Structure 1
Amino acid sequence: MTDTTDRRSRKRQATRQAISNAATRLFWERGFDAVTIDEIAAAADVGRMTVFNHFPRKEDLFFDREAEGRELLRTTALHREKGVSPLEAFRRLAHRLIAEQAPYVVFSAESQAFIRTVEESPTLKARARAIRDELAAEIASALIDATGAQGADPHARLAASLLLAAWTTAFIEAHRTYQQTQSAEAAQAQFLHLIDRAGQGIAVALQGTAYA
C-alpha cells in the first residue's frame, strides 16, 4: 500500500511540475494575461480539468511555490534553535537560503523574466499584493504560536509587517542590483546586507517583546 501511495504521489507531483513548467514557458514567452488555461493544458499534454485539479486559479500556476514558502516561514518561527529569537531565526533563514541557492532567492536572467512578467500583468500584481497580506497574517500567527503570546498580539502583527517589508525590499533591490551588474554574487550580497540592516532596526522596534 505504501509503495502504491508513493508511486501515486510521485506521479501526481510529476504531473503538477509538468503543468507548471509548461505554464511558465508560455507566460515568459507571451505574458501572463495572453495565455489561456486551454493552451497550458495542451502544452503540458493534459486535460483542462487536470490543470485546475492542481492549480485552482490561473495565478497559482505562476506563484506555484506560495504554499511551500508559507510552510517554510511558519517552520522557521516554530522550530528555531533554543535561545534564538524569532527575529534572529528569520535573519538566519535568509543566509541559509542564499547559501543553499534556494529558488526563492536566485538572481539570474531567469528570475528577471519572472519579475518582468509580474510587472507587465495587473492580475499578477494584484495577486502579489494579496499574497503579501496573507503572508503577513501567517507570520503573525506563527509568531504568536511560537512564543505563546495570548490573543491577537499587536506586536506580532508589527513584527510580521516589518519582516515582510524588509524581505520584499531586499528582494526587489537585489534583483535591481542583478539587472545593473549581471552578477548573482553582487545581488546576493545586496539581499543579505539589507536583511541584516533591517533586522537591526526591527530588533530595536520590538525590543522588550518575545519576538526580539
Structure 2
Amino acid sequence: MSDLVDRRAQKKALTRELVRTTAHRLFASRGFDAVTIADVAREADVAVQTVFNHFASKEDLFFDGRVPWVEGVADAVRHRAPGVGPLSALRAHLLEFMAGQLSSLDGPEERCYRATLDASDTLRTFERKLVFEAEHRLSDALLAAWQDPEDGGERAPLDPVISAPLTAAIWLAAVRVLIVENRVRVAQGMAPAEVAATVEVLGDRLLAHMQAGSGTFHGMITPARELPGDRQAG
C-alpha cells in the first residue's frame, strides 16, 4: 500500500512539473496573454482539468517556483538564529535578496521572465497582490517576534499590533523601489553585478538607518488603550 501511495505521489509531482515547465516555455515564446490553459494542456498532453488540479489559475502557473520572496521575508524573521533580533535578521535577508534579484538579470532566463511579466498588465497586477501577501506575512512574523520576550536584544515597540504592519510596509516598499529603479540601470547597459554591488551598499546604509531609528519610530505609536480619547471615555 505504501509503495502504491509513493508511486501515485511521484506521478503527481512529475505531472505537475511537466505542466509547469511546458507553460513557462510557452509563456516565454508567445507571451503570457497569448497562451491559454488549453494550449498548455495540449502541449503537455494532459487534460485541461489536470492543469487546474495543480494550479488554481494561469497566473499561479506563471509565478510558480519564481516568487520565493513571498514567504522568504517572513521566514527570515521566524527562523532567525538565536540571539538575533527580528529587524537584524530581516535587514540581512533583504540585502541578500536585493543583490540576488539584480545580479540574476545577467542570465537570459531571468531577463526573459522579467520581459514576459512587464509585457502583461494581468501579470503586473497579480504581482502586486503577491507583494501585498509578502507584506502581510512579514507583518505577522514581526508581530509574533515582538510579542516574544526573547527578541534578540532589540527593543520591542509599545504597540506591536500597529508597528508590525507599518514596519513591513515601509521596509518592503524601500527595497522594492531600490530593485525596480536599478533594473532600469541594467536595462540601460550597466553590468548586473556592478549594479547589485552598488545597491547592496546603498541598501545597507538605508536599512541600517531605518533600523537605528526604529526605536524612535515605535515610540511615536501610542497603544490605543492609552489614547487621550479613550481615557476620557473611561
By the TM > 0.5 criterion, same fold? yes
In the aligned structure 2, how far is the partner of 1:11 from the partner of 1:167? 40
Counterpart of 2:200 in structure 1 is 192
Give structure 1 stretches of 5+ with no counterpart.
Answer: none
Counterpart of 2:38 in structure 1 is 38
TM-score (norm 1): 0.81
SS, match of residue 143 in structure 2: helix
Counterpart of 1:171 in structure 2 is 179
SS, match of residue 106 in structure 1: helix
Residue 164 (structure 2) aligned to one of 153, 156, 166: 156
Counterpart of 2:75 in structure 1 is 75
Opposite residue 51 of structure 2, the aligned amino acid is V
Counterpart of 1:136 in structure 2 is 135
Cα offsets for 1:42-66 (capped at 9, x unmatched): 2222211111111101110111137
Q: Which stretch shows the higher mean deviation, 71-80 or 186-195? A: 186-195
In the aligned structure 1, how far is the partner of 2:135 from the partner of 2:165? 7
Q: Which stretch shows the higher mean deviation, 58-67 or 134-143? A: 58-67
Counterpart of 2:23 in structure 1 is 23
User: Aligned-residue CA RMSD in angstroms?
Assistant: 3.0
Structure-2 change in CA distance of 1:183 and 1:11 (3 Å): farther
In the aligned structure 2, how far is the partner of 1:55 from the partner of 1:197? 40
- Counting only pairs closer than 5 Å after superposition, residues 118-129 of structure 1 correspond to structure 2 as 118-129=117-128
Structure-2 change in CA distance of 1:104 and 1:61 (3 Å): farther
Counterpart of 1:12 in structure 2 is 12
Matched residues, number: 208
Give structure 2 stretches of 5+ with no counterpart.
Answer: 149-157, 220-234
Report the CA distance between 1:181 and its aligned residue. 3.5
In the aligned structure 1, how far is the partner of 2:144 from the partner of 2:3? 35
Structure-2 change in CA distance of 1:189 and 1:132 (3 Å): same
Opposite residue 32 of structure 1, the aligned amino acid is F
Report the CA distance between 1:25 and its aligned residue. 1.5
Cα offsets for 1:108-144 (capped at 9, x unmatched): 2322222222221111111111111121111101111
Opposite residue 82 of structure 2, the aligned amino acid is K
Structure-2 change in CA distance of 1:152 and 1:134 (3 Å): farther
State yes or no: 1:147 paired with 2:155.
no
Structure-2 change in CA distance of 1:7 and 1:105 (3 Å): farther
In the aligned structure 2, how far is the partner of 1:116 from the partner of 1:70? 20
In the aligned structure 2, how far is the partner of 1:51 from the partner of 1:172? 32
Report the CA distance between 1:191 and its aligned residue. 4.2
Q: Percent identity?
A: 33
